[in-house]
Structures are given as structure tokens and as C-alpha cells.
Structure 1
């Protein structure tokens, strides 16, 4: 219900409305005539009746985006995907934009922020952060009608040099890395070859860390490996098995002779470990890799061990995901087709593979053209 009054020669409207269990009021003054105030108030009342609110971009970003995540995103996302998005909102978006009203966010200031993120994050991480923010503000426009337009819709993800961004081991570096994967002499379970086998498998198949840690012995049949699950180990939470990252991530790949040899050794070594160490427990399931207590091998433990091996080998400290990149690069350098590499890695499509390994595919293309010219001449 609107009320009007004249103050110092100017008209003011007040519209009182109920939002949830609380009553709110919206007012504005400065109208030359009562008619102008009535027309403006009528527009506000129409918005309230149609959309359930009267504010246009007045809500603070932190409240809006947290509500948006909890109510509209969480029910439709895998738990691990939601946790990644929530973490990016909490650690990156809210510290910078939380106390801005939605209508205060502008493209230039936002683009400067994206550009500055290149000092801290990879292009892929920046793209994920922007995707969350852009999606939230698009909802503010199209779903909730509290913004007239999305100010960051046309923002650009700053490009980084692809070769510099992509972290992988050369053939020689990988050989050095794998030669240092055995336990040190003073290790409690120094006879285990588990990490040597795990990292060999990842480096020669391109498996993601979650895919590798979810494997059972029953996933191997002859020289074929079936990848149809992913181990999710949330921070301070219980691990669980989820479906693979994308539809194409479910796949069957061929294992080379060296991997098969290492897996055979690993199976024998596991049995020896159960007999040699009373505290080394057999898991309830036929897990390919597991902790000494028989539970899933923790992803953070694997990452820490990986870094220690890098230090031990005198190599640049990378993450286990570098083994996936290494496998792709080595396949492409050996002459494998983009389509084969894409299928083997479980990418959503060939474009993903080509974009990720652009500098390698460009080199292959240049070499091919050079050989073609030599052939014609």
C-alpha cells in the first residue's frame, strides 16, 4: 500500500510490503508532482506483486551468491562439484566483491580483477571462478529480475602462454621421477611398491588421480582397463565413489606390456605386505591401491608423496595431474592422433584435447607440413 506526502515542496512515496515474515518499506522523494510520485509507486507495487521484491540490485553480493549456491545450485550438482564452487565463492569472490551491491559491480573493475588473478591462478581456474560469478549475475537478471543486465557477461578470460601453463614431465624427467618412487630405507613399509606402480600407471594411461584411486582389481581384464568411477575425498569428510567427471570419462583403454608387468608385481607385493606387516591390513574390497589400514588411499597423501618424490629426484615440484599431461604429450609426440588421445583421456571432445595441448599439436602440424614439402620436392 502506497502513501504520499509533500516535503519542502517535493513529493515522496512510501510503499510498505511483506517479504517472508517481515514487513519492509521502500521510499523515494524528489518528485515535482503527486502524479509523478503515484506513477513511480505504482511501478514499485507492480514489481512487488510480480517478482516478490522491490529492490533493483540493492542486495549485497555475499548474501545473494551464498543463497543462490545453497538453494539453486547445490541440489543440482555433484557434491564434489558443489564443494569446489563453494570454495571458490568463499575464498575468491566474496573477499573481493562481497560488500558490493549487485548494481555496483561494473565490467571494467571486474575485468581488472580477472587480469590480476593471472598472477595467482591458471587460466582454467580463472575460467571456473568467472563462470560461477557470471552464472550468479545472469540468474539475478533472468531468474530474479533484480538486475536489468549482467555487467560482466562480456568479460574476457586473460590468456596465458599455453606451454608455460601446461605442467608435464619430459621423457627423461619422467624416467628420473619414476626411478625415485620407491620408499626410502627408513620407511615403515619400505617393501611396498604401491606408489611406484600407481605413478607408473597414471603416467602411461593418463588417469586422473580420483580415477586411479577408485580402481579395483576386477576393473582389469586381460590388457584392458575399465574406468567407470571416481574416488572423491572431500576435505574433513567421508570419501565416496562417484561417477566419472564427464560422460566421456567412462571408457575402456588398453594397457601396455610394462604396465601389465608392474601390475602383476604389485598384486604379488600386496600379498607379501599382508604377511610381512601385521599392521598392513587387507581391504574389505579388492582395491588396487589402499592405505595400510585397508581404507581408500587419500588423495592429499598421494599429492604429498608425489611432491616428496619430485624433491628427492631434483625435479620441479608438480602435482600428480602432471602425469596425465605427460602421457598426452608423449602420445602426441610419438605420433598418436588427436582423436585417439582424446578418447584415451576421456575428454569431452577433440577440441578439448587440441586446446589443452595446442603447442604440441602445432609442432606436429609444422613437422607434417615440412615432411610433405620434402616429399613433393
Structure 2
């Protein structure tokens, strides 16, 4: 078989040799040159066979398809979908829809240059705080195109945009006195808001965990609450109840006063929704459906503005609980277990058993310290 000059060898990062070629197939009816590139062949024979096959196919009417960035993105997305939670898939898809595809989606991926990527990256830089995240995901699509041997290099990886100077993290929280002031103000609102926000302050649960609670999760006799799910989004952006952020299962101690407030709310809720059962959501919306987690932000913000209180977020209430828990004498191990954090520590996770006595003593100290 005669050697074809268009076939060239190249090296992979691993050091292995591969073969590629760029082939001219003639012109279109408008006179535009038709060229295509093929790469990734393990032997020169395989490359030669493909080269000749394309020549023959072109004469029979074949025209090579050049895929756009959007085409490759859709192929990548179908694989990515299988490796992440539905809520993560939804967020990533939204990121591409809002930012990446408007800049790069319509361009043939083989034609995308460093300059295309740089221009896109600076648009994201001007629009977004986390512009690096958009760059990172765009680069993943180019990496996938390389695996498919559609392109030789990733033009996005050569782009360097400045790192935006981040505002100093405040990590706000309430002191014991500020927390009591916040709860006193919350007491003046409707019982549902008061019950929900007090529960966050006295358990440290995440806002989505709070809105996923069913009455069957609260054991009024044993003074315990089960945390094993959270409100999140499916891949289409619809609210669902799924596992917690770290897929954990926690059994938390809860105080008498919080239980009393929850019971008051339960009585009122049973009047509002006559078909209330043990599997009903504790904090459902007006139509007895799942409440959007953003409601926690609205409630906090409205109360803080109305009563001129220090502004902190619902997540800062979780930080407040952890801080006061620590001040009242709890160990980092006890706080970690209560909050449901997933980082591993051999001593605490393997050799220390979280007994009921450990949980009870830590919670008693917290309640005594709060004295509210």
C-alpha cells in the first residue's frame, strides 16, 4: 500500500503514538473547500484505510458532518447526567444554557480558537462572580471532544482570566443575646415561621432539611427528630424531596419548648389542612405542597428588616447553632455529628461511638446555656 503524505504521527500525553490526517475532498456547489480531519488511529494502516474510504464515499455523495459545540455538549451532558445528583445536573444544565451556549454553542467545535474562548471568558468575567466555574465546565466539553478525537487540543485551558478579588468572608452568626432577640421578634410573627426558625436555631439543620420534615419524623415522647431527607430540585428544576446533602441519617435531641411550639403549629395546621396525617409535611405551603427553600431567606430578611436586627442568612443560623453549641461545651465531634458533616476522621468516625449519653449531655449543656 502506497504511503499517503497527509497521514502524520503524533504523541499522546502517555507517550503512545497515534496517526491523523487532514483530507481535502473537493468543493461544494458554491465553491467552498471541503476538508475534514481524522485522528486517533493506532496504526498507519488503519489511518490509510479510513483516508481511502472517505475518498470513495465523497465520490458517492458523502459530506462530512462538522459538529458544533452544542452537539458535543449534548453528548457530554448525557454521560455527565449519570454521575451526579439531579439537582447538580439541573444547575449545570442551567449554567450552560445561560452562559456557555450563547457564546460558543453555535460554532463548529473544530473551528473554535483560543480567541473565541478568551472572548467568551471575559464576557463571563464581566457578568459573574464565579466566572471560573463556567470556564471549568466549558473545558470539560472540549476535553470530551478530545476523547472523541474530534479536536486535538483544548483551547479553553490556555485562557487565563484574572481571579476576582473576593470580599472578605464575614461568616456572620448571632451571639446568645442576639439569637434571643431574633427569636423574640420571630415570636411576634405567625406560629409557622416561629416554629420553623426556632427549629433551625435549636437544631442546626439545613433549611431544605427543615422543609422536608414530616410529622412522623418528630418523636414527641422521646424528644427526638429524625433528619434523613431534604428539599432539592430534580433535573428539570422541579421541587422534590431527596436524600440530605451528605446522604446521612441523624437523630437529634430537641427541647421541650421547641416541641410545644411545634405542637401548637400542628394544631393550627390540622385546621388549615383537614387531611393532615403523620406523613404530612410539617412546613408545607398554603396548598399543602413542598415549600421552596428560598422562603427561609424571605422570612429571615423580613423579620430582620422589620425589627432592625443584624442581617444574617438562614445558613448563618446553622453556624450560630454550631458556635453556641461549642461555647456551651460541646466537642467538635459532637457538633459534626449534630450538623451532619461528612469529613472523615479516623478517631472520631471509627473508634468513638456516638452514644445516647453523649448526645443527651451535649444538648443539655446547650439548653442550659441558652436558658430561653
What range is the shorter-chain TM-score in? 0.5 to 0.7
2:250 match: secondary structure: strand
1:322 and 2:316 correspond: yes
Q: Corresponding residue for 1:348?
A: 342
CA displacement at 1:177 relative to structure 2: 3.0
Deviation of the 1:127 alpha carbon = 6.3
1:95 corresponds in structure 2 to: 102
Q: Which moved more, 1:132-141 or 1:204-213?
A: 132-141
Could you state the TM-score of these two structures normalised by the residue count of structure 1?
A: 0.62
- Who is 1:79 aligned against? 86
Query: Which residue is equivalent to 2:138?
Result: 133
Task: Tell me whether 203-212 or 237-246 shows the greater mean CA deviation.
Answer: 237-246
For 1:96 and 1:339, the matched residues in 2 are separated by 47
For residue 64 of structure 1, what is the aligned residue in structure 2?
72
Deviations 1:275-316 (A, max 9, x none): 4xxx45453424322234433333343433333223213246
Number of matched residues? 298
For residues 183 and 209 of structure 2, the distance between their equivalents in structure 1, rounded to whole angstroms, comes to: 20
Contact 2:90-2:236 within 8 A present in 1 as well? no
How far apart are 1:195 and its partner, in Å? 1.2
CA 1:251–1:148: 2 relative to 1, 3 Å:
same
Residue pairs, 1:245-324, within 5 angstroms: 245-247=245-247, 250-257=248-255, 260-275=256-271, 279-284=272-277, 285-315=279-309, 319-324=313-318
- Residue 226 of structure 1 aligns to a residue whose secondary structure is strand
Structure-1 separation of matches of 2:181 and 2:303: 10
Return the alpha-carbon distance in structure 2 between the equivalents of residues 312 and 331 of structure 1: 28
Q: Deviations over 1:124-152 (max 9, x none)?
A: x556545533432322223x222323344
| CA distances 1:106-127 after superposition (whole Å, capped 9, x unpaired) | 498389649936x743xxx556
Show the counterpart of 1:226: 226
Q: Whole-Å Cα distance in 2 between the matches of residues 72 and 176 of structure 1?
A: 50
SS in 2 for 1:180: helix
Q: In the alignment, which of 125, 130, 133 is matched to residue 116 of structure 1? A: 125
2:25 paired residue number: 14
Assess if the C-alpha contact under 8 Å between 1:206 and 1:344 holds in 2.
Answer: yes
Q: Deviations over 1:16-53 (max 9, x none)?
A: 9xxxxxxxx9427xxxxxxxxxx9x949738989xxx9
Would the alpha carbon gap of residues 238 and 161 (structure 1) be closer, same or farther in structure 2, given more than 3 Å must change?
closer
* Corresponding residue for residue 209 of structure 2: 211
1:320, 1:141 → 2: CA distance?
43
Taking structure 1 as reference, are residues 84 and 115 closer, same or farther at Cα in structure 2, changes over 3 Å only?
A: closer
> Could you say which residue in structure 2 is the equivalent of 1:27?
35
Instruction: Write the distance in 2 (CA, Å) between the matches of 1:157 and 1:348.
Output: 32
Other structure's SS at 2:284 match: coil
Taking the aligned partners of 1:301 and 1:88, their CA distance within structure 2 comes to: 23
1:109-188 pair list within 5 angstroms = 109=118, 113=122, 116=125, 120-121=128-129, 128-142=133-147, 144-152=148-156, 158=163, 163-164=168-169, 167-171=171-175, 172-182=177-187, 184=189
Paired residues of 1:134 and 1:153 also in contact (CA < 8 A):
yes
Unpaired runs of at least 5, structure 2: 1-22, 28-32, 37-44, 56-62, 346-372
- SS for the counterpart of 2:186 is coil
Q: Secondary structure at 1:197's aligned position in 2?
A: helix
